[in-house]
Chains A and B, each alone.
Chain A
Amino acid sequence: MSDSVPIDHALLLSAALFALGTLGVFLRRHLITIVMSIELMLNAANLAFIAFSRSHGTIDGQILVFFVMTVAAAEAAVGLAIIIALDRIKRSIDVDAFDWMKW
């Protein structure tokens, strides 16, 4: 491979960042940090797209990253609006405060 940046290591970085994002979703108790962890996972997926786009020499991966970014922006806007609404109801954004649907 005639690359100065090793694609394999970029892919491994992507896997590591994705796992750290899931760890955040497991461990954190604030809704807003959980949404941040999801953003981290989306970025890890974007990195894999860019790395594959480079190693295959095609542009499609980058187009897909463009769409992922716009969808992530929409998701962040709606998610944060939901968090504001939940905070208005319970005066807390701790996940343990929201157990209405727990059986």
Chain B
Amino acid sequence: MEAILFYGLAALAVVAAIAVVAQPNPVTSALALIVTLCCLSGIFGLLGSPFIAALQIVVYAGAIMVLFLFVLMLLNVEPERSPSGPRLALVAGALAATLAAQVGWVLLQTDRGTGVAGFHVRTRQMAMILFSPEGRFLYAFEMVGVLILAALVGAIVLSREDLP
């Protein structure tokens, strides 16, 4: 059952990712990317991380992609008029296929462990590691908060009307 769900979601994710890359309208690309992200969220859930799956929907499909669509609407973006020529597409496709083969080969060479039956990370475990003072990630977590603040200020400054 889980395997069927996994392969279905994986196939849909790849098809939607091809749609992101292959068709000229940016709004359709954004919508296809949302489909890919939702499929990946389902796969994360199947791989035993429900917290990350929920975060994927809330942060990526919810917040980031809404930001993308908002900017697309704001700028009133036209579909691409000058698509890349067939020669560039051929070269880029060959390069991307080589990259996929190399990355896949390297990933399959690495030590993949033995697999843990019924592996399932609860949100509580994540919180214990992220927030406990003995955890290794408390300072990193605080730094991420500072990074978000810096990005917020940077985005406001960059998109001002009277940019120097």
Alpha-carbon distance between A93 and B116 when the two chains are bound, in angstroms: 47
For chain B, the bracket of interface size reads 35 or more
**B119:A54 contact, CB within 8 angstroms:** yes
Give the chain B neighbours of A21 by CB distance below 8 A: 17
A100 to chain B, nearest CB (A): 15
Alpha-carbon distance between A53 and B51 when the two chains are bound, in angstroms: 14
**A43:B84 contact, CB within 8 angstroms:** no
Near A by CB (< 8 A), chain B positions 27-47 give 29-30, 33, 36-37, 40, 43-44, 46-47
B125 to chain A, nearest CB (A): 6
- New A-B contacts (13) at CB < 8 Å, excluding given A52-B113, A67-B140, A96-B82: A3-B115, A10-B47, A13-B10, A18-B103, A26-B96, A33-B29, A36-B33, A54-B116, A63-B129, A70-B147, A72-B64, A73-B151, A85-B158
Near A by CB (< 8 A), chain B positions 1-56 give 1-3, 6-7, 10, 13-14, 17-18, 20-21, 26, 29-30, 33, 36-37, 40, 43-44, 46-49, 51-52, 55-56
Majority secondary structure of chain B interface residues (helix, strand, loop or mixed)? helix
* Contact flag A84-B75 (CB < 8 Å), given A7-B115, A23-B21, A76-B67: yes
A-B contacts, 5 of them at CB < 8 A, read A29-B80, A32-B26, A52-B112, A77-B154, A84-B75
**B67:A84 contact, CB within 8 angstroms:** no
* Contact flag A13-B14 (CB < 8 Å), given A29-B83, A62-B52, A80-B155: yes
Chain B residue nearest in CB terms to A35: B68
**B137:A63 contact, CB within 8 angstroms:** yes
Alpha-carbon distance between A80 and B154 when the two chains are bound, in angstroms: 11
**Which of B49, B95, B159 is in CB contact (< 8 Å) with A50?**
B49
Give the chain B neighbours of A101 by CB distance below 8 A: none
B42 to chain A, nearest CB (A): 11
Give the chain B neighbours of A78 by CB distance below 8 A: 151, 154-155, 158
Chain A residue nearest in CB terms to B128: A59
**A16:B92 contact, CB within 8 angstroms:** no
Is B114 in the interface zone, CB < 8 Å from A?
Answer: yes
Chain B residue nearest in CB terms to A1: B115
- In the A-B complex, the 9 residue pairs with the smallest Cβ-Cβ separation, listed nearest first, are A57-B116, A19-B100, A74-B151, A26-B92, A81-B158, A15-B104, A1-B115, A56-B113, A81-B155
